[in-house]
Amino acid sequence: MSVYCDFYGSYYDPDPWTHKACAVEYSVPEGCPMHFSTGAPIDLAHVAAKLSSGGSLMDAPSTAMNIGSDQVTFSVMDVNSCDCHQTSIGVEFQHVEVDVPDARAGDIVYLQGTAFESGEYSVEIGPAGPCPTPEWPTEYHAALACDRCPVDGDTNGDGVPDLDNDDVGCAVGGDPSVILVAFALAPLVRRRRAKIVSSE
């Protein structure tokens, strides 16, 4: 079964993969690490965990490490070109493993610092048991909206494209609200631990 990592952006958000981490699990057994994949240039030393236990939320000691990566090529529109032609970009997605030793069954762990500008996600801790093999994303998708030209479309000089000017920019000959979907090439996976094996 394929695991997808999807991102949606626009001219105002041309690199949405820096804002969202792709969770690998939303629940893990007690004593097991949790995992996520991110294309954001994060500092693993700043990934922090908060623990919700018995109705209270507290900081919890944690360690985060990179255990591999995917090099992904997106074919996306050049949002600064004014004709929205396609261009290729490369993004490295880190495979991150986080250990929170104090987490117990019934707790919820909130991971913070998992994306460059914002973002956290929660992982529920279940009863102790065998640790699952992480299922890393096997496909990465990105979609950007085709917006109006940010230069020629700004007739009043306020730095914002004019919404009522139909003669300029990417809106010419097309609907500016159309979302174009770009599919990543099959990722090349490098693993630094033999025990980590993603499923097909």
* pLDDT > 90 fraction of the chain, expressed in percent and rounded: 40
Range with top average pLDDT, 27-36, 79-88, 174-183: 27-36
**pLDDT, averaged across the chain:** 77
In this model, does residue 54 exceed pLDDT 70? Answer: yes
**DSSP letters of the chain?**
---EEEEEEBTTBS-GGGT--EES-SEEETT--EEEEE-S---GGG-EEEEEETTEEEEE--EEEEEEEEEEEEEEE-TTSSS--EEEEEEEEEEEEEE-TT--TT-EEEEES-SSSS-EEEEEEESS-PPPPP---SEEEEEEE----TTTT-SSSSSS--SS-TTSGGGTTS-TTPEEEEEPPPPEEEES-TT-----
pLDDT on residue 117? 67
More confident residue, 162 or 29: 29
**Tens digit of pLDDT for each residue in 114-136?**
887 656 789 999 999 999 999 99
pTM above 0.85, yes or no: no
